[in-house]
Every structure is written in structure tokens, then in C-alpha cells.
């Protein structure tokens, strides 16, 4: 099972890549959100090609939609 995960620009993402958030996002369960330009390092691919898992300095355990990300 080889799932191709692509960012908003169509660039293929791989396990351990770094991505940049391209839109301010609200985060459920957190008072702070993710600002545009935030770098999410060392991503983990999921079974869903439209979602990745990652963490930032302030928020751990994020699940992000790939439509709001671009490869760093």
C-alpha cells in the first residue's frame, strides 16, 4: 500500500519532512492557533492521504490537512 501524500502545491511529502502552514488555523482544545508561516518539523504520514501528524514547539499531537501546508 503506497499512499502518495501531496501538499497544497502538489509536491509529494515523505515521512520526516518539514512543512509550512500557509493559512492561519484555529486549533481545537488550544487557546493559541497556528499562524501562517509556522514550520512543522518531522511530520508523520497517516493512512489518510489528506492528513499528516506533526508537532510544533507549543502544540503537540497535531493532525493537519495537507491543503493548508506546503513543503519547507
For 5-71, CATH number out of 1.10.275.10, 2.30.42.10, 3.50.30.50, 2.30.30.40 equals 2.30.30.40
CA dist 30 and 42 (Å) reads 21
Per-residue pLDDT of the chain (72 residues; tens, 9 = 90+): 578 999 999 999 999 999 999 999 999 888 889 999 999 999 999 999 999 999 998 888 999 999 999 999
**Would you state the pLDDT for residue 37?**
96
Total-model pTM: 0.88
**Would you state the pLDDT for residue 1?**
54
Q: Residue 15: helix, strand or coil by DSSP? A: coil
Q: What are the extents of the domains in the chain?
A: 5-71
- H/E element holding 48? none
Nearby residues of 48 by Cβ (< 8 Å), 6 or more positions away: none
**Would you state the pLDDT for residue 38?**
94
Instruction: Check: CB of residue 38 under 8 Å from CB of residue 30.
Output: no
Amino acid at each position: 500500500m503506497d499512499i502518495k501524500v501531496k501538499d497544497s502545491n502538489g509536491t509529494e511529502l515523505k515521512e520526516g519532512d518539514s512543512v509550512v502552514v500557509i493559512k492561519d488555523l484555529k486549533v481545537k482544545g488550544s487557546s493559541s492557533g497556528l499562524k501562517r508561516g509556522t514550520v512543522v518539523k518531522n511530520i508523520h504520514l497517516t493512512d489518510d492521504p489528506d492528513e499528516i501528524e506533526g508537532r510544533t514547539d507549543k502544540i503537540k499531537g497535531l493532525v493537519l490537512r495537507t491543503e493548508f501546508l506546503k513543503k519547507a
